Amino acid sequence: MYELYNNYIENSVVNVNWNIGVYCRLSREDEKEDFNKQSESIENQLKFINGFTLSQGLKIKKVYKDDGFSGTNFDRPGFKKMISDIENKEINMVITKDLSRLGRDYIDTGYYIEKYFPSKNIRYIAITDNVDTFDSNNSNNDITPFKTVFNDMYAKDTSKKVRAILMTKALNGESIKAFQPYGYMKDPKNKNKIIIDKNVSEIVVKIFDMYKSGKNKSQICRYLNENHITTPLKYKEETTNYKNPNKKFYVWSSSMISKILRDRIYIGDLVQHKHTKINYKVKKNIKVDPSQYIIVPNNHESIIDIDTFNIVQKMLDKQSNEWTYSSSNSPHLLRGLVYCSCGGKVTYNKNHGKYFRCVCSSYKKAGAKFCNNIQYLREDELISIVLENLRKNVKKYLDFKKLNYKVKKPKIKDNRVDIERQISLLEQKQKSMYEDKLNNIISTELFVQMSKELEEKKKGLNVILNDIQKKYDEENVKIKDDKIEEYINKVLEFKTDNEINRDILVKLIDKIVIENKKVKSITYNFSIPN
């Protein structure tokens, strides 16, 4: 396996002191799909690479691992640490078992191999793919871009298979969630089945009983926080391998209570497929229409009886309707726009002399422990400050627009779908050519030549595609700016504060932050020139 490198290594730049960084990666998809999955484990990748470095007389300086991370994106802790060390000049060589361990997205992988590593003078070796970026005589380097394309295709195919398996499991009443809702846990005997978690199930019962008896969500939160009841998030961290480093406070909130009260899992129904990923390359989940939910009734033991659940749902619906009606009658001018500097929303309290008072979410949930700012402000004073600031910045915006006026261009022709189709066809041709090469239908030289031509065509199409997207984004910004400008011009038409319309303020103002009885900052939905 390692012989092909011997002559090159021995005759390479002997004066270079190689500081080697080894990168190993394994995703859950790799574990599920690879027939020889044991050989792909982090441990075995390291053994393989160690064997290679020993045979070449090389010494490893650092090892970077990403276990359980997909190769379709590069937002991985181990990989980011390696890039940081490259920037700090701690390593000058990167070794992976093969190209797919570095990544499976052909665009990003190609960027690191063809642009980033060379720009930092980093030598990259993918052992089983016979890739060494410092070997100018290695013909395998020429076909590296096409191997990354096939790795990308593999990732796409794997994603489809995994998704199909998960959907089948969901339809059969098997839990496909990594973590179970508060009150339940995975069955130790069957990870796809859920059972009642007796450590916290009584808390769920308590929440339903309190709401049913007439307690509102804020009162329930206060009770749970004062009695130091562990929140769902905190409990999940304590009992599983789940980590959420961005969460500062672990306090009960009204949204947590609502989620529990609305969840049919507590009556024994398994509801899944509420979210789905945009595609195999994007982590972000999007909500699924409720009609597409996968629901298996009476799937597991219930915590809440059906009668209690139905009563609670009627109470929640009634409260929601009442809130919508009352708030739609006479919403306050600045409702939903004012925030405390601690991050919580500030609500209008008409019972205290038309003052704004901070009753932010943190204070309501856990008292002064999380917010001790005194946030009393007269209603008329706050409105006056906001409107004065608004008029000043509106004038700055319009003056700037006059100085930088540009004739609006006609809308661009959106032919992205056609170009994407052309790129897809080129990728199919590349795959077909590669198969022809493997079957000795065409020579390696012809394959490399034709592949380069196809790659150049693809690069040209991607340039056009990026240009279209840029123009499309610019056009959307212009449309948005035009809409904003309609409201901006209306602001100047009003002669008194009483004439200001709430709809206009909502369109123009994003957030008003107050601190210690003063306006700290105002954020707008339009760009204010310096």
Gyration radius (Cα) of the chain, Å:
30
Domain ranges of the chain: 3-158, 172-319, 331-530
Query: What is the 8-class DSSP label of residue 231?
Result: P
Burial pattern 56-87, b for ≥16 Cβ within 10 A else e, equals: bebebeebbbbeebbbbbbebebbebbbebbe
Asked whether 204 and 234 are in contact (CB, 8 A), the reply is no
Instruction: Provide the token pair at 329.
Output: 């009658």
Distance of CA 367 to the CA centre of its chain: 32
pLDDT, tens digit (0-9, with 9 covering 90-100), for 118-149: 889 999 998 888 888 887 665 455 545 545 55
In the numeric block, the tokens 């009753």 are attached to 359
pLDDT, tens digit (0-9, with 9 covering 90-100), for 491-513: 655 545 555 677 777 778 888 88
Asked whether 55 and 127 are in contact (CB, 8 A), the reply is no
pLDDT, tens digit (0-9, with 9 covering 90-100), for 370-402: 666 655 677 778 888 888 888 888 777 777 666
Query: What integer pLDDT is reported at residue 461 of this predicted model?
Result: 83
Query: What integer pLDDT is reported at residue 434 of this predicted model?
Result: 72
Instruction: Provide the token pair at 377.
Output: 């402000």
Name the band, by pLDDT with cuts 50, 70 and 90, for residue 350. low
Cβ-based neighbours of 182, under 8 Å, separated by 6 or more: 200, 203, 204, 232, 235, 236, 260
Query: What is the 8-class DSSP label of residue 12?
Result: S
Cα(6)–Cα(2) distance, rounded to whole angstroms?
Answer: 7
Asked whether 500 and 387 are in contact (CB, 8 A), the reply is yes
pLDDT, tens digit (0-9, with 9 covering 90-100), for 472-494: 655 544 444 455 566 566 665 55
Least reliable range by pLDDT among 55-64, 213-222, 223-232, 246-255: 246-255
Say whether pLDDT at 209 is over 50: yes
Query: What integer pLDDT is reported at residue 266 of this predicted model?
Result: 93
Across 407-413, average pLDDT: 45
CATH 3.40.50.1390 for domain 3-158, yes or no, is yes
Q: Can you name the residues that pair with 63 across neighbouring β-strands?
A: 22
SS3 of 451-497: the string is HHHHHHHHHHHHHHHHHHHHHHHHHHHHHHHHHHHHHHHHHHHCCCH
Asked whether 148 and 72 are in contact (CB, 8 A), the reply is no
Q: Can you name the residues that pair with 356 across neighbouring β-strands?
A: 348, 377
Counting other chains too, the contacts that 39-48 makes at CB distance below 8 Å and 24 or more residues apart are 42/67, 45/97, 45/101, 46/22, 48/97, 48/127
C-alpha pair distances (Å), 119 with each of 87, 114, 122, 136, 389: 11, 9, 8, 16, 48
Cα(365)–Cα(220) distance, rounded to whole angstroms?
Answer: 9
pLDDT, tens digit (0-9, with 9 covering 90-100), for 227-256: 889 888 888 888 887 776 555 557 888 888
Query: What integer pLDDT is reported at residue 267 of this predicted model?
Result: 92
Cα(228)–Cα(220) distance, rounded to whole angstroms?
Answer: 12
- For the chain, the first-to-last Cα distance in angstroms comes to 62
Higher-pLDDT residue of 337 and 330 is 337
Name the band, by pLDDT with cuts 50, 70 and 90, for residue 201. very high
Q: Helices (H), strands (E): how many in the chain? A: 18, 17
Q: Can you name the residues that pair with 123 across neighbouring β-strands?
A: 93
Least reliable range by pLDDT among 10-19, 433-442, 443-452: 10-19
Say whether pLDDT at 409 is over 70: no
Q: Can you name the residues that pair with 279 across neighbouring β-strands?
A: 282
Asked whether 300 and 270 are in contact (CB, 8 A), the reply is yes
Burial pattern 285-298, b for ≥16 Cβ within 10 A else e, equals: eeeeeeeeebebee
Closest C-alpha among 375, 385, 380, 337 to residue 515: 375
Residue type, 235: Y
C-alpha pair distances (Å), 134 with each of 11, 83, 114, 130, 243: 12, 19, 12, 12, 40
Query: What integer pLDDT is reported at residue 358 of this predicted model?
Result: 52
Across 301-315, average pLDDT: 92
Query: What integer pLDDT is reported at residue 302 of this predicted model?
Result: 93
Q: Is 271 exposed, middle or buried (0-12, 13-18, 19+ CB in 10 A)?
A: middle
Across 444-466, average pLDDT: 80
Query: What integer pLDDT is reported at residue 98 of this predicted model?
Result: 86
Instruction: Provide the token pair at 446.
Output: 């012809």
Cα(358)–Cα(371) distance, rounded to whole angstroms?
Answer: 9
Cα(225)–Cα(223) distance, rounded to whole angstroms?
Answer: 6
pLDDT, tens digit (0-9, with 9 covering 90-100), for 14-35: 557 899 999 999 876 555 444 3
Across 49-65, average pLDDT: 90
Query: What integer pLDDT is reported at residue 204 of this predicted model?
Result: 95
Q: Among 3.90.1750.20, 2.40.10.120, 3.10.129.10, 3.40.50.1110, name the CATH number for the domain at 172-319.
A: 3.90.1750.20
Nearest 10 degrees: Cα torsion 247, 248, 252, 255: -50
State the average pLDDT for the chain.
75
Instruction: Provide the token pair at 170.
Output: 């969901």
State the DSSP H helix or E strand holding residue 218, giving kind and residue range, or none if neither. helix 217-226
Name the band, by pLDDT with cuts 50, 70 and 90, for residue 306. very high
Query: What integer pLDDT is reported at residue 307 of this predicted model?
Result: 92
pLDDT, tens digit (0-9, with 9 covering 90-100), for 318-333: 766 544 444 444 456 7
Query: What integer pLDDT is reported at residue 7 of this predicted model?
Result: 43
Helices (H), 357-443: 361-366, 379-403, 416-438
Cα(47)–Cα(40) distance, rounded to whole angstroms?
Answer: 11
Cα(178)–Cα(194) distance, rounded to whole angstroms?
Answer: 11
Asked whether 298 and 268 are in contact (CB, 8 A), the reply is yes
Query: What integer pLDDT is reported at residue 329 of this predicted model?
Result: 47
Say whether pLDDT at 101 is over 80: yes
Task: Tell me if residue 359 falls in helix, strand or coil.
Answer: coil
Higher-pLDDT residue of 91 and 346 is 91
Across 47-56, average pLDDT: 89
Least reliable range by pLDDT among 19-33, 128-142, 264-278, 441-455: 128-142
Query: What integer pLDDT is reported at residue 147 of this predicted model?
Result: 54
Query: What integer pLDDT is reported at residue 96 of this predicted model?
Result: 92
